[in-house]
Structure formats: C-alpha cells, structure tokens
A and B are shown apart, each in its own frame.
Chain A
C-alpha cells in the first residue's frame, strides 16, 4: 500500500504590503502622529497632486495657478506644519526627520516635484533651525506657520540659495560667489549689510518671501563666510529670476534669482560677534551646511525609493492584463497572467521591487538615526559646555581622546549579555559623548550613502520599471506616471550635492575607526542572522562585508604598479567605487534587519498576523535577491581595485620569470613524470623556439592576495540559493492580489 504525503503549498505574499506592514518595517507602528501625517499627505498626493499631473500640469516651465494651489493643499493637509514645533501649530514633538521622510515618501509616490516643493521650505528653514539664534528660530517658524481661520498675516515660504551660476559651486563650498559687504555701520548701531547673490536652480522662488543665502565676505570688516536671511521686502532687488528650463520636477518652482539687498547683520544665521572691529559670524557656511545636509539629504534619497515601490502595482496590473481584450479567452493562462507568464518579466520586476525595499529600509533607518542624532547632539553640546569645552577644535580633541572607550563600548555592546562586564557596559552606555561618537560615525556615512545609493541606483532601476511597461511606459498615459518618475530620479541624484559629493564625503568618513569597528560587529551579527535564517542572504552579505573590509585595509597601504599610493583624497578612482560598494552593503543589511523586525513584531498585530508568514517569506526572498546583487557589485568593485592597479605581466624577461621553458620541462619529465602535460595549467610555457601562448602576457599572479582570493571565491559560493529565492519571489508575483485600479489620481 502506498502512502501519499500531502504538503501544503508554502505561504507566499497574498496582498501588496499595506500600511500596517510598513509601519512595523519602518518602525513607526507606535507613532500615531506619524501615521496621521502619512494619511493626510497621501490624500494630498493622490488627490490634488495626482490630478494636476494627469491634467498635464507638468508640461510647463512656468509657474501656474495649478502649481501654486498645491501650497494651499499642503497647508490644509497639515503637510506644511510637519516641521513646526507644537507651539506653532505642529504635531510632532521632538526630531522631525522621520516625519519629513514619510512626507517625502508619500508625495514622491505620485510626483517628486510636489515633494520638492513641500520640502524646499523646510530646506530654507533648516539653516535657521540647525544653527540659527533662538530669536531667528522663533521668528521664522512663526512666519511660516499656516494661517489659522480668521488670522490675517502674510504667510512666509522660503528658498535655500546655495547653487550659483559658476560650475561646481555648491560642491566645493570653499568657493562661493555670493558676496557680503558692509553697507552702513554707524557707531553703536547694528551694521547694515549688503547681500549680493545670483542663484541658480533655486527651488520655490515663485512663492518665496525669504531666502537663506550662502555668501562669502567681500569686505575686510567681515570675517569668512556665512548664511544670511533676506526677505522680499528688504530694500534692494529681490528678483525671482528666469525659470529654469528643466525637464523634471516640473511641479516645483525653480528659478535663477538675482538678490541684491540691504539687511541688518542680525540676519546672519546663528548671529555674530564683533571682534577687533570685525564682524565674525558665529557659524561659517561650512558649519551650517554640514548640519543642514546631514538631515535634508535623507529625504531626497527616500523620494527615489518611493518611486520604485510605487511602480510595482501598475507594472503587475499592466503585465497581468496585457493579453485581455484581444483574442485570449478568460480562464486561460494568457488571459489571466498576460506577460507575467514570462519569467524574465517577473524576474526584472523582482529586481525593481528588491531595490525599492532596500532603499526604503535604508532611507527610513537613516531618518531615524538622524532623529537620534538630533537628540544626542544637543546633549553632547550641553555636556561639553558643562565641561568648559568651547569651539569646534576643542570639541574634536575631546572626542578623539574617547576613541578607545568608544571601541570598548562597541565590543561590549555586541557581546552576549552574560559574558560582558555589565557595569562597565552600562557606564559607557550612559556616557553621552560615547553615544554621540557612535551615532555621528554612523550618520556621517549613512547620510551620504542613502543619498548616493537610493538616487543613483533608483534612477537605474526606475528605467527598468519603465521598460517593463513596454511602449506604454514612455507615454503620459502610463499609470503611475512612471516615465516622469524615471526622469525625476535623475534630478534627485543631483539635488543637494551630486553623487560625487556623496562619494567624497564617504571616502573620508567610512575609514573612521569607529565605523570600521561597527562593520566588524555587523559581520558577526549577519552570520548570526544567517544561522537562524539562511534564506535572507545574510551570510552572503557578511562575506561581502568581510571582503570590503579587507580591501579597504589593503588599499590604504597598497600602491599601484608605479608606486603611487592608492587610497588618497585625489585618487577618486579608488575611493569612490569603494563608497559605492559600501552603500550596497548598508542598504542590503538594513533591508534584512527590517524584515526580521516584521517577523518579530508582526504577530502582535492581528491585521499583519493574518498573512504574515507569506509576507515575511516574500520579503525575505527579496532580501536574498538584493544581497546577491549587492555582493556581486562589491565583489566586482573590489576585484577591479585590487587587481586593476597592478600592471599585467608582458612577454618580457620580467614577465616570463614565472613561466616554464619547454626545455626545463623535458628535463623534469624524467624526475616528475607527466609534468609536461599539466604545466600549462599552473603557469605559462615558453616553447623551445621562444614562442608563447597567444594572449596579452603570462597570467597575472596573486602573490600576497591569497586572503582576497579566498574571500572572493567564498563570496561567489555564498550566492548559493539566491536564484531560487528569485524564482520564489517571481512566482509570488503571479498570485499576489492587487486592487482593481490604481488609487490615483483621485
């Protein structure tokens, strides 16, 4: 008698992940303030914003009534108020980076130009918020607060003017064309300054009443550079300038303003002091920009990832229904699945989805870290002030001295609780400066990494998403506005510093010993995850991290074929690709951590619990797909850098030193029979007549690179199972339930 084993089909994704799942993944399930912001922003994005895009509102460089009305929608929908403190009408207590990231996500899901419009006012205010005096903070927050019913005042909106007509300004903040001079300075009175700035690509100029302007001193009575606030009613020229003829983000206003205005010196952001007859700004331009971009670059990265995930539903619907309406009959695979019958179409969509998940996970993690950084930075300032440590350099000295303790703290933190000195761990855990050092080390790498990876890879994958819609993809009618989103992604890669700026910053911050120590701990952590959940691809990623760490050590001491140092500031061919490789690793790691969070917390929510097993299984497969892609990129980049700077051996005396001569082999044959037949698999063989194999030269050798090759081979082997994961994810795409229609425009 035979028995039949009936195995239930493995659970897989039943519906597209909803809000409940996202709230757990991105860690705001316990924040109803943020959940409400998501809903209100979504209503604006999928309502008025989407309608404007569908009506062709993007097809003009000019500022139109329709575009202008979106600001009213942002005000009414509570979007404008997100960055406000509760006393000015905001609803988010404390740091607001995660809140702003969620706003950016929801708006960019439909149109990133709308997201930019909304966020540009925040960017304008950011220098004031981060480095402004208390009076400046209060004044401009109050001015920007949306009007309450019956309130009669001019509501301010702002622009942030850094970029200038000169190429590369904004990249090298040491060169600023905007000038600041003393216009009047009467004895005992506040100096009046002349601001002279010509901006380029300045967002929100059509609605701006105030502009935060980057300027450099053009007067011996003013020291250095700073940012300063100008208003449209200041005496002088406040010319919004010509519209930028951009082909992307057309719902946002972008102009090249001409600003030539007299303002009181109290408008210098962060204030100033008079020292020896000089006006000395309390914060230089670099001080301000560092604080601002650390926070605002995150939202730009988030915007591109939102597009990728927004593409999933329209692409599935298009592929699934592609054959309907023609000769196909209902209830046949062709009718039901359309293009989804083809593995390639599904696999490519899996790639898009996996990239979107990774970018989103990383983006929101960075937003959370910046939120934490906001708090710990303030606490650090307080502690150092109490210790009498003043000035950036003194602070730096104090922090440097703490490095050993920071590393000790990390060792303890990542040790099993029962094996560590708990008292010492607690002591270090409670040390604000140590917490600051760790958070800063992470933030300094993560912020440029999220901007770099999310936007650059996002743009590439967005093209892939468009391609999956066939010819439909490049039309205005394409559901989800995918073609516009693809174009827009390119601008996001440029906003707030193009890719090169992010890579440059990472090349400096990623070799911080604290960050390197963290990476080593993360490798162990990933191995632990892999032991429990091998299907995440965590082991693959851990090996890729190990390879990257080895390579960065190697390159910091290694030299090229001509004896030139490899890891130097100027050698961007070395440092920049390593920054790219690191970004792949960081995004993949966070994607895995988020899915683990969902697996752990999901059962507590009955809504999520319903299909949790399938959702986690699917998202885990995406992790594996992405980890494989990341490790592939890391392996490729590292191999190029390790081998690429060695000169290939030639068929000359030096190159042939390691080759066998046919004569030698003949002689050896009597001692080692059969050597002649295997010699060419070990090295190259030079014939008796001096001829050699037809190729570039003797094969390159791996002297001193055994560890690298060991890791590299291991890395390739660690790809085991990744394609099976892709197949599973791709199968899920055929079965996942999607809504009847896209929910925008509404």
Chain B
C-alpha cells in the first residue's frame, strides 16, 4: 500500500511586487491598470507552499506534487518559465481572471472542481497546500473554502513547518502571537495547510527540472479550460492601495542592545 502524499498546491499569480499598482474600474469590474501587461510572478505565499510541498515530496517516497492555478493562461505560461525550474510538479491550469478583485468563494469553487478532476488523485492521501495569505488581496479565505468544498476539516493556517513523524503523523507549526508557534499533531492526511513563509529558501533554478516540467506544463496550458470568475457583480465600497508606512529615525551612538530593546517594546506595544 502506498504511503506517500498527494500534495496539491493552490497558487495564483500576482503582479511583480515592484510594479506600479493602480486600481481602475471598467465594464468588467475592478482591475489593476494595465494588469495584463505587467510582469507577474507566482504569489509569494503560495510559492513558499510549493517549495515546502516539493521538499516534503522529496523526503516522503511515493509522493507527488500538483500545482493548481487559476489565471490568464498566457500570463501563467510566463510565470512557469521561472517556476518550472524550481521544483518538480505537474500543472493543472484554469484559464480565467486572477486580479485580486475576484470573489474568494467563486475562485475556491473553480479550484476545488479542478482538484476533483485530477486523474489519479487519492484524496485520502491529499495534503492541500497554499498561501496563508495572498499578495493580491489578503483575504486569506480561498484555501479554507477549497478545503471545505473538498470535505477536508483538518485545517492549519500560518504554517511554518511540517514534520512527518515515525508513525506517519504530521507535526505542524502554526504562527501565533509574538513570534511563537502553536504545535499540532495531525494523525494523517487529508489536511489543509495554509503556509506562511515556511523555513526553506527559494530553490535555485534547475534547467533540467524545468525541461522535465515543461513537457507537461505546455499541454496543461493548452487544454486549460476557460473559467469564468467575474468581478462585475461584486460591489466594492472603496478600493485603495495600502499606504506606505515608514517611520525612520536616525540615531547615533546608541548601543545595539538599546535599539533591540526599543524594537521589542514597539512589537509588544
């Protein structure tokens, strides 16, 4: 009997963080100005989830990773030119909007549907990974709803670490207040893990992995079903970019300990 995990990572694409973001309202609803034309990247939170998934799959034999994404497939293809070189995975693509103004429930429904349709997926071995939050809009709801729709009740958010114990149980560290973690033990899959940053660095590009992945990614993109995720029927009362908050104070001749104490006080405050 197989003991490995079937890890499905849900990941959206977002505009490259350095781009100028300007919300605009049009006939199709809200969007970011010139969003289609801006370079995109895989949502950083979901990227961490993907790296953790690949690491887990490497360490637990007979495991496999799928990356499920909903976004304009031409843009997803561009993002894959980088992500495909990071870790091995199989892509499941849905061709639709991914601009941060879509409704989390609609997106989750489409993703859950796509996951249900993955051939060979054993839901009893399923670990559903994704970002705890999103760089496009930090509602943090999509992954939970996907989990609910798939009937997975064991859900963990803000995850930084997963350890597989000798008995096969998962020890999971979730972020809580003050830089501490809550440690949970989950006896077996299925489970939802919404990742914070994890502990792993971004893997270096590996062109061999890239070529391997691309053999399946290109066909997956070609057959990505058009998925209507609208924004037109959602009314936003107000949309604004987060304001930059920077409070710089230049000090001289202050001991490191003093600076550290002040920072800690600020964090506690």
Task: Give me the interface of A with B, judged by CB distance under 8 Å.
Answer: 14-15, 18-20, 32-33, 35-40, 43, 76-78, 81, 89, 91, 605-608, 610-611, 737-743
Contacts and interface: CB of A to CB of B under 8 A. Distances in A.
Contacts of B34: 14-15, 610-611, 737
A289 B197 CA distance: 52
B207 interface: yes
A32 B37 contact: no
B205 A77 contact: yes
**Which 9 residue pairs across A and B have the least CB separation, nearest first?**
A78-B207, A40-B205, A610-B36, A39-B82, A35-B81, A739-B18, A607-B74, A76-B204, A15-B37
Nearest to B204: A76
Contact of B18 (A18, A19, A20, A740): A740
B35 to A, nearest CB: 9
A18 B74 contact: no
B222 to A, nearest CB: 12
Pick from A35, A38, A43, A81 the residue with the most CB of B within 10 Å. A35
Given A36-B210, A91-B211, A606-B72, 7 more contacts: A38-B81, A607-B36, A607-B37, A611-B34, A737-B34, A740-B19, A743-B16
Given A91-B210, A739-B20, A18 B38 contact: yes
B61 interface: no
A706 B166 CA distance: 94
Contact of B78 (A20, A77, A611): A20
Interface in B1-60: 16, 18-20, 22, 33-34, 36-39
Pick from B16, B18, B81 the residue with the most CB of A within 10 Å. B81
Nearest to A611: B37
A91 B81 CA distance: 13
B184 interface: no
A715 to B, nearest CB: 37
Nearest to A21: B37
A15 B39 CA distance: 10
B131 to A, nearest CB: 21
B200 interface: no
Contacts of B218: 32
B199 interface: no
B79 to A, nearest CB: 9
Contacts of B207: 36-37, 40, 78, 81, 91
B182 interface: no
Interface in B212-243: 214, 218
B20 A740 contact: yes
Interface in B175-194: none
Interface residues of B, number: 28
B20 A738 contact: yes
Given A81-B207, A606-B36, A606-B72, A36 B78 contact: no
A74 B241 CA distance: 38
Contact of A737 (B20, B72, B84, B205): B20
B113 interface: no
Nearest to B15: A739
Interface string B56-97: 000000000000000010110010011011000000000000
B208 interface: yes
Contacts of B74: 20, 605-608
Given A32-B214, A40-B207, A78-B207, A19 B39 contact: yes
B153 interface: no
Nearest to A81: B207
A81 B39 CA distance: 26
A608 B84 CA distance: 22
Nearest to A605: B74
Contacts of B210: 36, 40, 78, 91
B129 to A, nearest CB: 23
Nearest to A78: B207
B63 to A, nearest CB: 19
B124 interface: no
A36 B19 contact: no
A43 B16 CA distance: 14
A15 B206 contact: no
B260 to A, nearest CB: 26
Nearest to A615: B37
B208 A36 contact: no
B82 to A, nearest CB: 4
A78 B203 CA distance: 13
Contact of A739 (B16, B22, B206): B16
A15 B204 contact: no
Contacts of B78: 19-20, 35, 607
22 contacts: A14-B37, A32-B81, A35-B78, A36-B85, A36-B207, A40-B82, A40-B85, A40-B207, A43-B82, A76-B204, A76-B205, A78-B85, A78-B205, A605-B74, A606-B36, A606-B74, A610-B34, A611-B34, A611-B37, A737-B34, A740-B19, A743-B18
B211 A610 contact: no
Nearest to A33: B211
Contacts of A36: 81-82, 84-85, 205, 207, 210-211, 214
A610 B207 CA distance: 30
Contact of A78 (B16, B18, B206): B206
A273 to B, nearest CB: 40
Pick from A20, A89, A608 the residue with the most CB of B within 10 Å. A20
Contacts of B75: 607
Contacts of A740: 18-20
Pick from B20, B22, B72 the residue with the most CB of A within 10 Å. B20
Nearest to A41: B205
A611 B35 CA distance: 10
Contacts of A38: 81
B36 A91 contact: no
Interface in B126-166: none
A740 B38 CA distance: 12
Given A35-B81, A737-B20, A607 B72 contact: yes
B227 to A, nearest CB: 14
A377 B38 CA distance: 41
Contacts of A15: 34, 37-38
Contacts of A19: 39, 78, 81
B220 to A, nearest CB: 13
A32 B38 CA distance: 20
A739 B82 contact: no
Contacts of B38: 15, 18
A39 B16 CA distance: 14
Contacts of A737: 20, 22, 33-34
Nearest to A606: B74
B68 to A, nearest CB: 20
Contact of B205 (A33, A43, A89, A738): A43
A140 to B, nearest CB: 20
Pick from A32, A37, A76, A608 the residue with the most CB of B within 10 Å. A32
Pick from A19, A607, A743 the residue with the most CB of B within 10 Å. A607
B206 to A, nearest CB: 7
Contacts of A742: 18
Contacts of A39: 81-82, 85, 205
Pick from B75, B205, B208, B218 the residue with the most CB of A within 10 Å. B205
Contacts of B81: 19, 32, 35-36, 38-39
B37 A18 contact: yes
Contacts of B84: 36
A147 B205 CA distance: 15
B200 to A, nearest CB: 16
Contacts of B204: 76-77
B55 to A, nearest CB: 15
B232 to A, nearest CB: 18
A741 B16 CA distance: 11
Contacts of A741: 18
A81 B211 CA distance: 13
A43 B78 CA distance: 14
Given A78-B205, A740-B19, A610 B85 contact: no
Nearest to B74: A607
A634 to B, nearest CB: 36
